[in-house]
Structure 1
Amino acid sequence: MYSKLSLAVLACIPLASDAFSFSSPVTSSRADLRSAATSTFNPSLGAVGRAPRAAASSISSLDMRVPKIIQGGMGVQVSSWQLAREVNRAGELGVISGTAMETVLIRWLQMGDPDGIYKRALDRFPDQDMVKRVWDKYYVEGGKPDDKPFKHPAMWTIEPNGALEEATVLGNYAEVWLAKHEDDGTLIKGGGVGINCLTKIQLPTIQNLYGAIYAEADYVIMGAGIPMEVPGILDNLVEHKDCKLAIDVDDAPEPVYTHFSPKAFWERAGKPDELKRKMKRPDFIPIVSSVTLAQAMLKRATGAGPTKGIQGFVIEFPTAGGHNAPPRGFRYDAAAKSHVLSLNERGEPVYGEKDEVNLERFKKATKGLPFWLAGYYARPDKLQEVLALGGAGIQVGTSFAFSKESGLRTDVKRDVLKQVQSGDLSVYTDPVASPTGFPFKVLELDDSLSTVKNYEDRPRVCNLGYLRTAYHDAETGKIGYRCASEPIDMYLKKGGVMEATVGRKCLCNGLMANAGMPQVSPHKAAGSDDKYVEEILITAGDDINQVRNYMKETEGGYLEYTAMDVLDYLWGKYKDEYQKEMNLYSHAEEAEDPKIRESLLAKKKELEERIKEVDAQLNK
C-alpha cells in the first residue's frame, strides 16, 4: 500500500514521460534506453528496437542491412560525423554532409584541431605525405585568433588545382572515417554510413565521392538536382578510372565537362601504387520528388546493371528542410516575375496535386527497389505506415538537426529549442534565397540572415563560391563564374541582371557560420569599426515543432535531446516507459484527499491514452 504522504507527493510530480511526449518538457528525465537498442524487431508487432535485417537483393553490399531510418544529410556539417556515428551505432543509416568538406577540414585545422579529432582520421589515410602538405599549410597550434579571418583554398572551377583536390579528398575521407569508427579506431558494425552531396554543387562532386569511397562509405545519397551521371562515376572511381561530369554552363555553345583522373591524382602525389587498391562501391540512392524523375533515372542513369547503378530512392516531399524541388511548372523569373502568380500570401511557392506522389505507381515504376519517404515523416506511425506500404522506411532530417550530436552551433540549438517550447518559431519557404534557384526553407530567427535588417547590413562578398553558376563569355570564349549573392557590381559585369540579386542570400557563408566556423569579412560591419563576422542562416523542415516530443530540460536549465532520443521515439519504445510509469499510479484510487485522488486519476488516464496511441501507431 502507498502511504498518504507518498500519494500526495506523487500527485505533485509531473509525468516523467512528459519529457518525451507531445506536451511541454519538464526537468524529469527518462531512463537511458541505449541498452534496449539490441532488442528484436517483429514487423507484425511494430518497432520495438533494433533488429537484424536480411540483406535485400537490391542492396549490393552483402554485409549491409536495409535501414529503416536514414538520418538525412544536412547543411555544412550539421550532419556531422558525431551524429552519423551515433545513428550508425544504433543500427540505422548515419549520413555525413559532403558539402564544403575541404573548407570544414581546413578551418578546423586553423582552429587547432581540438581534441586531435581530424588527426585521428587522417593518420589512417594511406598517403601521409599528402596529409602533411595540407596540415603544414593550414594547421594553427592552439587555433587562430577569433578576430582573424580563416585562410581558404582557391574556389572551385572546371579545372581545379591539385592542392584543392587533395584537401577535398582528405576532408571527405576524414568525415566518413570518423563516422565509421570508435575513438580507438575500432570499426563500428552498425547500420552503415553514407555521404550526402548536393547535385547542384557540381564541381567538387567527383573528388567528394573519391574521398568517401577511400573511407569505405556504404551509401551515396544525392538530391537538389538530377544526379544522372553519378552511378557511372561511382562505377569508375572504384576501379580508379577517369571520370567526367557535365557542368551546367549558361550560354555554352556545346557541352562542358569537368574531369578527374585518379591516375593523374596519384601520380602527381608520387603514389602510383594506390591505383592497385581494391575499392568497395557504395550503394547509390538518389532523392526524387516524382515518379517521372525516378523513371528517367532508371532509364538514363549511367551506372551498370538493370537498375543503372541505383540501389533505392528517397522520395522527398516539399515539407522537408533545406532545398526543395520547385512545384511542377514553377520557374523563378527575376526579370518578368511571372513566378509570383504561383506564390501564396506569404510569398512561398504553392504545391498542388501535381506534386503528389502515387506510391503504388512509384513501386511499380522502380522495379521493386527500396524506397524511403522524407518530409513530415518523423513519427512512429508514419514509419509503420511506410513499412505497411512496402517501403523500406523513412528519412529524417530536422529532428536530428537540433540534437546534441549534430554539428549545429550549441547556442543556436538551445535558442531554437527554447523557441519551440514557447511556440514562437516559423519556417518560411523562400523562393529566392538560394542562388541555385531552388526554394529554400529558412527558419525565422533574430540575429540571423533571415531578418531583413541583418540581410541588408551584410556586406556582399563571395569567397567560397560553391553555388556560383558557370557561364560562357561570348567575347572571350572563356568560362566565367557568377553568383547572384556576390557584390552586385561584379555580378552585373558578368552579365547578370539586377533583378536576380534581390533577396539572394549567401548560403555558403551562412551555413559555415551555422557550424561554428564563421568567416571574418574583409569589410566592416554596418555602423561599426569592427570587421563583419558572418551570421547564421538556419534551415528546418515544416515539422520543426516535432522536436517537442523528445526535448527535455537539463540540470543546467537548457533544453536538449540526443539522436538516440529521436530513434527511440521513432522505434516506438516509449510505450515501455509509459507502462512503467503507469505502475506508479496503480493505487491512485486509495488517496483519501479528493483533490490528490483526482490529480492521480487524471494522470493515470493520460498515460492510458498515451499507451493506446502508441498501440494504434504500431498496429497501423
Structure 2
Amino acid sequence: MSAWPSTPDLEEAPVAPTALPVVIQGGMGVAVSSWQLAREVAMAGQVGVVSGTAMDAVLSRRLQDGDPGGHMRRAMAAFPDADMAARVMDKYFISGGRKPGTPYKPIPKLTLTTARAGQELAVVGNFAEVWLAKEGHDGAVGINCLEKVQMATPTALLGAVLAGVDYVLMGAGIPREIPRLLRDISAGRPGRISADVLGGKITRYIEVDPADLLGDSLPTMKRPDFLAIVSVDALANYLYRDPEIRPDGFVVEGPVAGGHSAPPRGKMQLDERGEPIYGPRDDANLAKMVELGLPFWLAGAYGTPEKVEEALALGAAGVQVGTLFALSLDSGITNATRESMLADLREGKLEVKNDPLASPTGFPFKVASLTDTASEEETYQARPRLCDLSYLRTPYEREDGEVGYRCPAEPVHMYLKKGGEQEATEGRKCLCNGLMANIGLGQERKDGYVEARLVTLGQDLVGASELIRTYVEGWSAQQAVEWLMSKVPAARIRRVQFA
C-alpha cells in the first residue's frame, strides 16, 4: 500500500455561513431519489438528494436503452475528462436502445481493487446524477450512500464531488472515515477507507486516486458538508468527540424510516408479524443531540407539517423525509409501480413490513407489500438465486490469505462453498436486482425471465395518507415541500456557521 498522510487538513472545512434547510429529501433506493426529484426539491429551496447506490449500473443501462431525452449524454459532455466519458459512451451507448428482450451488458464487479473501467463508470455515473440534479439553479443537492456498500464509496463520492455536490449523507453503518475521505478527494489527493474483510488478519483498504484517474483534467473541487445518519445519540457522540471523524451534522433516523434501519439494541426479538421489536433504548436522546451543538435533522415519522413543527421545537434544524418524495410524481420509480402504491394508499391498503431477513447486509429492510413483487413469497421463491450486480457482496479472507467475495442472496451452494452458513441465506432477497427493476431498469434474460421488483418505503404513511386526499392523482415534489413547510415560521429558518 502507498503511504498516506496522518494529519487531517481540518482548515479545509468551509467556514462561510450556510443557510440550514428545514427539509432534506431522503435518498430512497437505487435512483428512486433520481436527479429529477432532487432537482425539483432543490429548486423549491430545500435539499434535494440523489441516491449514490449503483449509479454505475444505472448509467450503463440508461445508455443501453438509448438515453431517452439525451440527459446522460448532456451530463457526460460536461464531465471534466472527455476521454473518460467517451470510453463509457463507446462501451454502453446504443442508439435507439436495446432490442426488446436483450439482456443488459454486465458491468465490472466491485472488489477491493475494482478494475479501472469499473472505477471510471462509477465516477462518471455519480457525476452525471449530481450534475443533472444541480443543472440550471443554485439550490443545494446532496448524495446518499450506504456505509455497508464500502467498495463503491470512494469512486461514488469522487464523481459527486466533481459535480459540485453540496451534502453527502451516509448511514447503514458507522461512517467514521468519510470526513477524511472527503477532505482528501476534494483536495485532489488519493483517498481511502478501511475495508471490512471477514476473518481478515491484515488491514486492507479501498482507494481512489483522483489525479491518476483524471490526470490533467482534474479540476479544483470543494469539500461538501457531511451529514452522518445515526439512530442513537451514543453514535453521534462517538463521531463528535474526535475532530478527525466529526461530521458537519447528523440525521437522526428512527426505525420506521424507509430502506435499511439499524437493528434493535440488544437481542433481536420479533413480533407476531415477524418484525423487529424496538424499545426505548432505540430512541435517540434529543436533548443530548442538542448539547453536541451540531445541526441535526429528524427522520422516520416526521413527514407532516405538524411533525416538522415538532422537530424544530425539539431543537432540530428540520427533518429528512423520504416516503412522501418516493411516492411523488417526480421520483424515479416507474409510473406503474407508483400508480399501484397510490391506489393502495387511497384505499388504506398500503402496507410496509420491516423485514429482518430481506437484506443481505443483515440490517432490517422495509419492503412494501405489492402484488407481483418479491414481497410475495411465491414471487420470491420463483426467482432464481443470482448475484450478478453484487453491490452487497461481503469480502472475506480465504484460507490461502487471498480475498474472496460472497453474498447471502447468491445460489446457496456457492455461498456454502465460500465458507458461508446455511442460516445466513434463509429469506435473503436480491436487493440489487429488485431495486433496479423498480426504476424500469430490471434485467431481462435470454430465457424470457424478467426481474421482479422489490419496493422499499418508510412505514409511516400518515403524511402520504393526508396528501392523497388533497392530490387524489398524486403530488409533485414541490407540492410536498410546500405542504411540509406550511407551518414553519420564517424566523425558524436559521443560519449557522460550520466550524
After TM superposition, is the score higher than 0.5?
A: yes
Query: How many Å separate the matches in 1 of 2:203 and 2:238?
Result: 20
Query: How many Å separate the matches in 1 of 2:450 and 2:481?
Result: 36
What is aligned with 1:73? 27
Query: How many Å separate the matches in 2 of 1:388 and 1:546?
Result: 19
Q: State the Cα deviation string for residues 123-163 of structure 1 (Å, max 9, x = none).
A: 11111111111001100111102311000211100111111
The match for 1:274 among 203, 217, 220 is 217
The answer for unaligned runs of 5 or more in structure 2 is 1-12, 493-499
- Return the letter of the residue paired with 1:66: L
The match for 1:193 among 127, 135, 141 is 141
**Are 2:436 and 1:509 equivalent residues in the alignment?**
no
- Aligned ranges 1:572-611 → 2 under 5 Å: 572=486
The answer to whether the Cα contact below 8 Å between 2:200 and 2:396 also exists between their aligned partners in 1 is yes
What is aligned with 2:248? 311
Q: State the Cα deviation string for residues 554-603 of structure 1 (Å, max 9, x = none).
A: 8xxx8221112211211227xxxxxxxxxxxxxxxxxxxxxxxxxxxxxx
**Are 2:402 and 1:478 equivalent residues in the alignment?**
yes
Report how far residue 357 of structure 1 moved.
Answer: 1.4
**Are 2:257 and 1:320 equivalent residues in the alignment?**
yes
Query: How many Å separate the matches in 1 of 2:74 and 2:469?
Result: 33
Structure-2 change in CA distance of 1:533 and 1:61 (3 Å): farther
What is aligned with 1:567? 481
The answer to whether the Cα contact below 8 Å between 1:418 and 1:559 also exists between their aligned partners in 2 is no
Query: How many Å separate the matches in 2 of 1:514 and 1:471?
Result: 30
The answer to whether the Cα contact below 8 Å between 2:187 and 2:222 also exists between their aligned partners in 1 is no
Report how far residue 243 of structure 1 moved.
Answer: 1.5
What is aligned with 2:39? 85
- Aligned ranges 1:148-297 → 2 under 5 Å: 148-182=102-136, 188-190=137-139, 192-266=140-214, 272-275=215-218, 277-297=219-239
Query: How many Å separate the matches in 2 of 1:169 and 1:550?
Result: 37
Report how far residue 250 of structure 1 moved.
Answer: 0.9
What is aligned with 1:102? 56
Report how far residue 553 of structure 1 moved.
Answer: 8.7
Query: How many Å separate the matches in 2 of 1:302 and 1:507?
Result: 33
Return the index of the structure with the highest Cα Rg.
1
- Return the letter of the residue paired with 2:86: K
Report how far residue 358 of structure 1 moved.
Answer: 1.4
What is aligned with 2:364? 439
What is aligned with 2:386? 461
The secondary structure found in structure 1 opposite 2:449 is strand
Report how far residue 300 of structure 1 moved.
Answer: 4.2
Query: How many Å separate the matches in 1 of 2:200 and 2:152?
Result: 20
Query: How many Å separate the matches in 1 of 2:330 and 2:266?
Result: 39
Report how far residue 381 of structure 1 moved.
Answer: 1.2
Report how far residue 363 of structure 1 moved.
Answer: 1.4
What is aligned with 1:494? 418
Query: How many Å separate the matches in 2 of 1:282 and 1:242?
Result: 17
Query: How many Å separate the matches in 1 of 2:72 and 2:80?
Result: 15
Structure-2 change in CA distance of 1:280 and 1:101 (3 Å): same
The answer to whether the Cα contact below 8 Å between 1:232 and 1:301 also exists between their aligned partners in 2 is no
Report how far residue 261 of structure 1 moved.
Answer: 1.7
What is aligned with 2:345? 420
The secondary structure found in structure 1 opposite 2:229 is strand
Report how far residue 218 of structure 1 moved.
Answer: 0.4
Structure-2 change in CA distance of 1:464 and 1:301 (3 Å): farther
What is aligned with 1:600? none
The answer for unaligned runs of 5 or more in structure 1 is 1-58, 183-187, 267-271, 331-338, 525-530, 574-613
The match for 2:283 among 343, 356, 359 is 356
The answer to whether the Cα contact below 8 Å between 1:552 and 1:559 also exists between their aligned partners in 2 is no
The answer to whether the Cα contact below 8 Å between 2:24 and 2:319 also exists between their aligned partners in 1 is yes
The answer to whether the Cα contact below 8 Å between 2:346 and 2:468 also exists between their aligned partners in 1 is no
What is aligned with 2:327? 402
Q: State the Cα deviation string for residues 164-185 of structure 1 (Å, max 9, x = none).
A: 1111111111111111113xxx
**Are 2:476 and 1:549 equivalent residues in the alignment?**
no
Structure-2 change in CA distance of 1:503 and 1:360 (3 Å): same
Percent identity over the alignment is 49
Report how far residue 241 of structure 1 moved.
Answer: 0.9
Q: State the Cα deviation string for residues 495-544 of structure 1 (Å, max 9, x = none).
A: 1111211100000000000011010136x4xxxxxx21111001111123
Q: State the Cα deviation string for residues 430-449 of structure 1 (Å, max 9, x = none).
A: 10100000000111111000
The answer to whether the Cα contact below 8 Å between 2:333 and 2:438 also exists between their aligned partners in 1 is yes
The secondary structure found in structure 2 opposite 1:560 is coil
Query: How many Å separate the matches in 2 of 1:454 and 1:285?
Result: 37
What is aligned with 1:538? 455
Structure-2 change in CA distance of 1:148 and 1:219 (3 Å): same
What is aligned with 1:21? none
The answer to whether the Cα contact below 8 Å between 2:130 and 2:143 also exists between their aligned partners in 1 is yes
Q: Which runs of 4+ in 1 moved over 6 A?
A: none
- Return the letter of the residue paired with 2:310: E
- Return the letter of the residue paired with 1:134: V
Query: How many Å separate the matches in 2 of 1:137 and 1:301?
Result: 43
Query: How many Å separate the matches in 2 of 1:119 and 1:130?
Result: 13
The secondary structure found in structure 2 opposite 1:569 is helix
Supply the RMSD in Å over aligned alpha carbons.
1.9
Report how far residue 61 of structure 1 moved.
Answer: 6.2
What is aligned with 1:8? none
Query: How many Å separate the matches in 1 of 2:100 and 2:239?
Result: 46
The secondary structure found in structure 2 opposite 1:518 is coil
Report how far residue 423 of structure 1 moved.
Answer: 1.3
Structure-2 change in CA distance of 1:301 and 1:473 (3 Å): farther
Structure-2 change in CA distance of 1:301 and 1:322 (3 Å): farther
The answer to whether the Cα contact below 8 Å between 2:102 and 2:445 also exists between their aligned partners in 1 is no
Query: How many Å separate the matches in 1 of 2:61 and 2:470?
Result: 32
Query: How many Å separate the matches in 2 of 1:263 and 1:281?
Result: 16
Report how far residue 259 of structure 1 moved.
Answer: 1.8
Query: How many Å separate the matches in 2 of 1:559 and 1:447?
Result: 22
Query: How many Å separate the matches in 2 of 1:60 and 1:384?
Result: 29
Report how far residue 412 of structure 1 moved.
Answer: 0.3
Query: How many Å separate the matches in 2 of 1:485 and 1:61?
Result: 45
